[in-house]
Structure 1
């Protein structure tokens, strides 16, 4: 699928609250082809003010939307509503190709005063509707939903006259199908406080990962004791705070090793490790290769 109006470059979240402008003002719809781990080892938990649909094309990996963590496979469609946490992780030995479909909700008419906006789009943005976060090929609605995405894909590649109208129509149909899968009588209340608290901790990690950051300091931000914080963090992320922090640091180091000529020692210190041996050990455990081996792989790749 061709990206619309922007260079063919996959977006990388620079912070947990993604503010990069992915969409154009006149036609706010963009698609980015991405591959994990080729482009980057993972997409850290983050949120943004735009809609994001992740369409898995090949392989398998892991995804998280808010507090739900699940494995994804080719054909799966992941829905990340504005303001909701989401991220992707690779599975060792696996390669996952997917498309990021990103657009502003105004593309569907959320800023218009009409029945569709008042009955569906605005309540969706207020978390008054609960749509499925992942649709798999086993779900009844999958064929119809994937047909909408595939047709929009074809239109953006060929760009026939009037294609913008049909892409918009495809997205409107996509959401009309999703709304039919939701049961208004069983809608859940707005996003729980746990999500807002987790966003606060993710922001703390983003701001201070290069510095010493303790469990006690993170717990204090939440108003929790250290022991309660550790239990809570594992419950909402599936891992410990220290493991999550180190994983974030290592992924920052991974990108630096691929894109700069800084020494391994310089990079390890910049991302918050004060012990090179520990950095090398954790890096190999995380990526199944040492930092120097990653550099060797990078040099052996053909130039483009």
Structure 2
């Protein structure tokens, strides 16, 4: 799973004909699954530790056992302040709910959710109604996917369809509410801005320019951006720069000074200060720990 992009995520799936993957993700100290979106559905289960999970404009504290459903196209992120956090994320394309290519019943079931007419609002904790059923199905789906036994693809497809049908039956929300529709329109506009940040984070993007991309005044832009991301615009860009720097520290032989320049920090001193503020250690020390 791509973990350093504030944009549409290019999720690694099994293959085009079987668009699903299961991620067993361990977080390092104060790690972040950056704000992103994708056309797939996603089911998250917290295995160990705690994390702040953001979906749209809502934030939850995810604890062991919690199940969270992420709708297609929904902005979401995960941040854990702990040293030891582990979660499962099952990511699957809406087509996984079809048992065969011409399955018109599946289209009728899923299309309102991919079109944004309906959404699934589910954050379940152990002991909640329907938790045991859905958690058991998730266990079976993960085991089938990882086991690779004969006919496992057919079994996984059937489980995706059954789980989605259960989520839709028990936790469906109509998007007819004016506030929800307005929020979705704002989120859609901001996806364009996230793409711009992902491509140009090393440049200076002014507040006025960012506000212009989403057709808002700077005042309303700042308010809406904080609502959507939980961060100010400057905090958001800086976090992206540091995450890109992390990638370079791990995967390249570039000097810290060269990395500072590539991520758009004005000087080595300002980069080191920013990095230490967000990561709790200097970039040189972080590289030694890898």
TM-score, reference length from structure 2:
0.88
Equivalences for 1:150-229 in 2 at 5 Å? 150-182=139-171, 188=177, 190=181, 192-229=184-221
Which secondary structure state, in structure 1, belongs to the residue aligned with residue 265 of structure 2? Answer: coil
Distance in 2, matches of 1:297 and 1:148, equals 39
1:24 corresponds in structure 2 to: 15
RMSD: 2.4
1:126 corresponds in structure 2 to: 115
TM-score, reference length from structure 1:
0.85
Deviation, structure 1 residue 27: 2.5
Contact 2:37 2:75 in 1 (8 A): yes
Deviation, structure 1 residue 204: 1.9
Which secondary structure state, in structure 1, belongs to the residue aligned with residue 137 of structure 2? Answer: helix
Q: 2:54 matched to 1:60?
A: no
- C-alpha change, 1:239 and 1:13, in structure 2 (3 Å) is closer
Deviation, structure 1 residue 242: 0.6
Moved more, 262-271 or 12-21: 12-21
- C-alpha change, 1:115 and 1:236, in structure 2 (3 Å) is same
Q: 2:240 matched to 1:251?
A: no
Contact 1:65 1:133 in 2 (8 A): no
Contact 1:28 1:104 in 2 (8 A): yes
Match of 2:77 among 69, 87, 92: 87
Report the number of matched residues: 286
Q: 2:28 matched to 1:37?
A: yes
1:34-71: per-residue Cα shift (whole Å, max 9, x none)?
Answer: 11127x93122111122222222111112221222222
Contact 2:5 2:240 in 1 (8 A): no
Unpaired runs of 5+ residues, structure 2, are none
1:200-243: per-residue Cα shift (whole Å, max 9, x none)?
Answer: 22122112111112212212222333233222222322221111
Distance in 2, matches of 1:281 and 1:95, equals 25
Moved more, 183-192 or 94-103: 183-192
Moved more, 11-20 or 167-176: 11-20
Unpaired runs of 5+ residues, structure 1, are 1-9, 299-304
- C-alpha change, 1:228 and 1:179, in structure 2 (3 Å) is closer
Distance in 2, matches of 1:186 and 1:50, equals 19
Moved more, 157-166 or 266-275: 157-166
1:231-265: per-residue Cα shift (whole Å, max 9, x none)?
Answer: 22223222211111111111111121122121111
1:142 corresponds in structure 2 to: 131
2:279 corresponds in structure 1 to: 287
